[in-house]
Structure 1
């Protein structure tokens, strides 16, 4: 079953809340405009989640017609244009949203992710750093993980390690932070901590090509031949065309 009928039901229900008794146009009242704006935003986000970015822009544009200063509408359009590979328009809407409300941590984190995707790492780092200052943000652990990934791109491994550790203090079951810390420890020759992080990663996440190669290397270091062979078979079966599998073959 698709989500489309549910989107229109939601939209209709929200707009229905704008209707009052008599012949008063609900869009003539502040309450009615606000509810209609929010309904349009939810409809646009629903289309975005389905990957229908062209359709998403129509209700989001209507939301901005009702409220040109809507942070959520600008932020949603930023995401839409990011998906559509229109970086200038995405940047414009993210910046507009933050100019309206610089304290919106969710938008700032999304803007940082956009900048990261564009390879604008120093700018992304600054946006994530500002987002991390919000002590009450419910997804703060992911912000620190984003900081860690950005620091890695900037080849600052020690700073990345500190960010990943901070992420795990907020959420000890965060797979990417666990794997990156395992890889960083392995690079430094700290094999016991690397194995600990790797085992914790394996408890909370499925394996990928990077984790399997690391697991093989650690198994060999700790002389666990059966585990090394098992992980090697998984790497061959699941990720035969990856650089990690080619690296694995070169190390045999």
Structure 2
């Protein structure tokens, strides 16, 4: 499972990670920055740009300078955390996500980021507390994102009833949240509520592009409902559009219908 991510420069960078966390709209502005704060902000912006361009070594250099200038600059911690994830160092990423959340304890964006990190690293209980913090922030721009992430994390832990509740509220706040639609279909499939799962899949497919995992879920739902035409259609689309995907290889195995 994965959530879809999300409007300013940091948000675009974080949308490249699973879970699509956001920092809440880009680098913070300070009306009266000190010289150190200004240096941290400038280097963070440069680090973001270099990361977008794939120049990761230069990005690391600028972000390290940002933190040397002002170690309490939360946005620099957030962006360098993304960079550490990209270069395959989840431990360092977690340290910086955690530090950003500590520096902005009332900020939904930082809480959501760290919650998603915890969820992806096998700590759903700890993650839930941070998602709750994110949802409680009245100034957080995308609470539906934190609700959706909380639902995904609960589903991964097998807590399907609670997951459905979170995802339902996420969809009440943003009915076009396509990832929440897909995750709701996944939860309902796991609970063997196949007709309801189909309804959410149909809503998802009316708004979003297919992915290997969505086509596989659609196929499995139709299989459980005994709809042979639907199974054939999903199978054809999966093998035709995503022939190299793990899901396609599973279907292409001998004896698989």
The alignment's TM-score, normalised by the length of structure 1, stands at 0.76
Judging by fraction of residues, say which structure has more helix: 1
What SS does the aligned partner of 1:160 have? helix
**Count of aligned residue pairs for this structure pair:** 224
Q: CA deviation digits over 1:67-113, x for unaligned, max 9?
A: 23211122222222222233332233223323322122212211222
Pick the aligned partner of 1:214 from 211, 217, 227. Answer: 217
Report if the CA contact (8 A) 1:210-1:244 is conserved: no
- In the alignment, which residue of structure 2 is the partner of 1:126? 129
Distance (Å, rounded) in 1 between the aligned partners of 2:52 and 2:216: 33
What is the aligned partner in structure 2 of residue 246 from structure 1?
250
* 2:43–2:62 Cα contact (<8 Å) kept: yes
Per-residue deviation, 1:56: 1.2
Distance 1:110 1:31 in 2: 27
> In 1, distance between residues paired with 2:54 and 2:127?
25
CA distance in structure 1 between the partners assigned to 2:252 and 2:193 by the alignment: 20
Task: Determine the C-alpha separation between the residues in 1 that align with 2:116 and 2:191.
Answer: 28
Q: TM-score, normalised by structure 2?
A: 0.75
> Partner of 2:64 in structure 1?
61
Bigger relative CO (Cα 8 Å, ≥ 6 apart): 2
Q: Pick closer, same or farther for the CA change 1:40–1:194 going to 2, 3 Å.
A: same
Cα distance in structure 2, aligned partners of 1:219 and 1:91: 40
Unaligned runs of 5+ in 1: 1-28
Relative to structure 2, which stretch is displaced further, 86-95 or 130-139? 86-95
Match of 1:165 among 163, 168, 185: 168
Instruction: Give the match's secondary structure for 1:173.
Output: coil
Bigger CA drift: 209-218 or 172-181?
209-218
Shift of 1:169: 1.1
Per-residue deviation, 1:137: 1.2
Residues 118 and 189 of structure 1: CA distance in aligned 2, closer, same or farther (over 3 Å) = closer
| Separation (CA, whole Å) in 1 of partners of 2:100 and 2:110 | 7
Contact 1:213 1:248 in 2 (8 A): no
